Amino acid sequence: MNTKKLTIAALLTALAIVIPFAVFFKVVIPPFTATLGSHVPMFVSMLFGPEVAIMVGLGSALGFFLNLGDVVVAARAFMHVFVGLAGAKMIKKGMSFGKVSIITAPLHGVLEALVVIPFIGFDVYKLLVITGIGTVLHHFADAFISYLLVNVLQKSTKANYINNN
């Protein structure tokens, strides 16, 4: 990993750690929680490759654990490692950011629903409706924020971060 990519990874990881502390707009319907913007570092990291996405996903899990001390929320945030990795691999193969956002949404919802089973048991409503669908909706909200952010960055830096296939 070159210095520029490592620096970007560090900055995005720092954001992933800080967002749970800094963002006050949160939706809490146990076992689901949604912190607006918490997926933005994950989405942006996908554009810089699998290694960056993994690092940012780990930072997200750490940030939520340090902020809340809640193992369930931290375990759900740990799923950002796998969602980010899948998205980064798709982008690396030339898929557009928009398509990746749509394809990773159900993966994100399923992973977060599955990871809470050991903590809450098999409650279909809490797993599928609250956690699964809630995560997908949160995923799309943050994907939209990420898309806007990356487009602004592209225009201001003249860099091409989003593959528009």
pLDDT digits (tens, 9 = 90+) for 106-141: 999 999 999 999 998 888 999 999 999 999 999 999
User: Which residues have a Cβ under 8 Å from the Cβ of 49 and sit 6 or more positions away?
Assistant: 5, 88, 92
Is 160 a member of any domain?
no
Count of domains in the chain? Answer: 1
Distance of CA 99 to the CA centre of its chain: 15
Distance of CA 66 to the CA centre of its chain: 17
pLDDT reading at 165 higher than 50: no
Vertex 64, ends 29 and 83: CA angle to 5°? 85
User: Which residues have a Cβ under 8 Å from the Cβ of 110 and sit 6 or more positions away?
Assistant: 132
Is 133 a member of any domain?
yes
Give the predicted TM-score (pTM) of the model. 0.92
Type and span of the H or E element at 27: strand 26-29
Which candidate, 34, 9, 5, places its Cα nearest to that of 134? 34
43: containing domain: 37-155
pLDDT reading at 29 higher than 60: yes
Is 112 a member of any domain?
yes
Is 118 a member of any domain?
yes
Q: What Cα–Cα distance (Å) separates residue 139 from each residue in 39, 69, 158? A: 7, 23, 27
In the chain, the amino acid numbered 26 is: K
pLDDT at 162: 66
Whether 26 and 35 have beta carbons less than 8 Å apart is answered as yes
pLDDT at 163: 57
Return d(Cα 54, Cα 48) in angstroms, integer.
11
Is 13 a member of any domain?
no
Phi, psi of 122 (to 5 degrees): -100, 80
Which candidate, 108, 106, 107, 109, places its Cα nearest to that of 127? 109
Is 3 a member of any domain?
no
Is 120 a member of any domain?
yes
Is 164 a member of any domain?
no
